[in-house]
């Protein structure tokens, strides 16, 4: 018997449900992928929408109702899917699920109950079925393609093999041991901004890189040193490192997989101007290793503008108010404020064109500090996940005090919603 009870019921009402349950799976009967009905909406028992998932049946035929919802009663309760079924989760659902199941063991039980599909556990009959091959893979371009070494599959497998827990940083004492023997102990306390200058007086930039690498090592299981991060079962969804120094720093960073954005892995995101190269052999497969920087180049402005377009068109950033307010009120730039509002209004079919114009015209015409500031807000907003750590190195070198003040206020509000923290290195706090 599984730990969780799943209610399977169509419609929008739970008024006729008399039994206890933990999660609600609401099938979307009127939608199909290449004639296969696989989509379900996942809700909490309180009715909070968590996200979408796809349940594949090995013997389902095209044009038929998913066998899981083939019953006459108003609803049914299940605790464990049979081996004929497998569930496909996307990345966003995993992150949202962490809020409901912050303990690693609970996530394991959830994954076990629904047979979350991965390279390590998916059965041959499910993987070879038409329902999976045609309805989900879509000629190898679909929702998830289980593979032993891909970063995406490693992310999903945290549900199975990772027993770490997500702690709200504001209430938890975190200890980070650096390579030079220094130890940082901190609890954010009343806010979510942590000043590294309170602990490190020299080589603060180096310490920021070391913190990022220590956290990445920990969440990626690259090191067996369990004493570097405390609590030892601490999990972190995303480490975002922000530094706009170009070729000034040559500290090591995570090796980046080819198949993902050149600056992003599933746990680590770099936001800045550096373009890093390993002049040696570059593995086609992601192995989680690190490399010494052999060459650092500076990214071109059109690459930064493209980041802007990709960031602000994402559904994670639907509110342009903070940007519009920044440029309309702080900088008294009404024209740019109106342009941004126009983009906001036209989010939809024509959003791409508006954003393209913004990148090619308005963005390229801004001062450097304005370019970088819009880029930074967009990239952080796009990549932040619940239980993230954002490290910002020397914002005072590139931004005005009023920009920094606005940034920290915005991030504190964002991190409160995301149960995340910001670590800042500044010369003058």
Mean pLDDT of 21-29: 92
pLDDT > 80? residue 12 = yes
Q: 15 and 97 in contact (C-beta within 8 Å)? A: no
Annotated domain spans of the chain = 6-161, 169-425
Per-residue confidence (pLDDT) for residue 92, from 0 to 100:
75
The percent of residues above 70 in pLDDT, for the chain, comes to 68
* Whole-number pLDDT of residue 263: 42
The predicted-structure confidence for 379-418, as pLDDT tens digits, reads as follows 888 888 889 999 999 999 988 887 888 788 888 888 888 8
Q: What is the pLDDT of residues 50-84, one digit of tens each?
A: 988 889 888 888 888 788 888 889 999 999 998 88
Q: Is the pLDDT of residue 187 over 90?
A: no
127: helix, coil or strand?
Answer: helix
DSSP summary character for residue 264: B
Q: Is the pLDDT of residue 246 over 90?
A: no
- Could you tell me if 140 and 149 are in contact, meaning their C-beta atoms sit under 8 angstroms apart? no
Mean pLDDT of 11-22: 91
Q: What is the mean pLDDT of the chain?
A: 75
User: Which backbone phi and psi does 86 adopt, to 5 degrees?
Assistant: -145, 145
- Measured CA to CA, the distance from residue 183 to residue 185 in angstroms comes to 6
Has residue 273 got a pLDDT over 80?
yes
Question: Across the beta sheet with 76-78, what order do the strands follow?
Answer: 76-78, 6-8, 23-27, 39-44, 49-57, 85-89
Q: Taking residues 270-291, what's their average pLDDT?
A: 55
Residue 116: is the preceding peptide bond cis (ω within 30°)? Answer: no
Residue with more model confidence, 232 or 260: 232
Question: For residue 42, is pLDDT > 90?
Answer: yes
Under 8 Å between Cβ of 174 and 186: yes
């Amino acid at each position: 018997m599984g730990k969780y009870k799943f209610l399977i019921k169509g419609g929008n009402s739970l008024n006729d449900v008399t039994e206890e349950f933990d999660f609600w799976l609401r099938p979307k009967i009127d939608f199909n992928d290449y004639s296969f009905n696989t989509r379900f909406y996942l809700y909490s028992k309180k009715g909070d929408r968590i996200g979408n998932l796809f349940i594949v049946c090995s013997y389902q035929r095209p044009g038929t109702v998913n066998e899981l919802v083939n019953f006459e009663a108003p609803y049914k309760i299940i605790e464990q899917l049979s081996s004929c079924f497998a569930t496909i989760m996307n990345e966003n659902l995993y992150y949202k699920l962490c809020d409901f199941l912050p303990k690693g063991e609970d996530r394991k039980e959830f994954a076990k109950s629904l047979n979350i599909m991965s390279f390590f556990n998916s059965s041959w009959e499910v993987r070879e079925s038409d329902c999976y091959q045609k309805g989900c893979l879509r000629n190898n371009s679909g929702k998830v393609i289980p593979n032993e070494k891909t970063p995406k599959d490693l992310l999903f497998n945290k549900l199975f093999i990772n027993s770490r827990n997500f702690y709200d940083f504001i209430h938890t004492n975190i200890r980070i041991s650096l390579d030079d023997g220094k130890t940082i102990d901190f609890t954010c306390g009343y806010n979510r901004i942590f000043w590294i200058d309170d602990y490190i007086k020299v080589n603060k930039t180096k310490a920021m890189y070391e913190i990022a690498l220590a956290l990445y090592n920990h969440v990626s299981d690259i090191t067996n040193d369990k004493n570097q991060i405390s609590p030892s079962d601490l999990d972190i969804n995303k480490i975002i490192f922000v530094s706009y120094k170009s070729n000034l720093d040559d500290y090591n960073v995570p090796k980046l997989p080819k198949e993902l954005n050149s600056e992003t892995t599933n746990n680590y995101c770099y936001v800045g101007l550096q373009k890093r190269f390993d002049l040696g052999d570059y593995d086609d497969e992601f192995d989680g290793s690190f490399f010494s920087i052999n060459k650092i180049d500076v990214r071109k402005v059109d690459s930064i503008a493209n980041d802007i377009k990709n960031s602000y068109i994402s559904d994670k950033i639907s509110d342009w108010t903070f940007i519009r307010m920044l440029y309309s009120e702080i900088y008294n730039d009404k024209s740019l404020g109106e342009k941004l509002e126009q983009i906001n209004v036209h989010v939809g079919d024509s959003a791409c064109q508006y954003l393209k114009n913004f990148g090619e015209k308005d963005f390229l015409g801004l001062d450097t500090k304005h370019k970088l500031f819009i880029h930074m807000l967009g990239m952080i907003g796009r990549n932040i996940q619940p239980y993230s750590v954002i490290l910002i190195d020397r914002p005072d070198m590139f931004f005005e005090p009023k920009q920094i003040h606005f940034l920290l206020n915005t991030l504190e509000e964002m991190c409160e919603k995301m149960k995340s923290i910001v670590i800042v290195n500044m010369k003058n706090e």
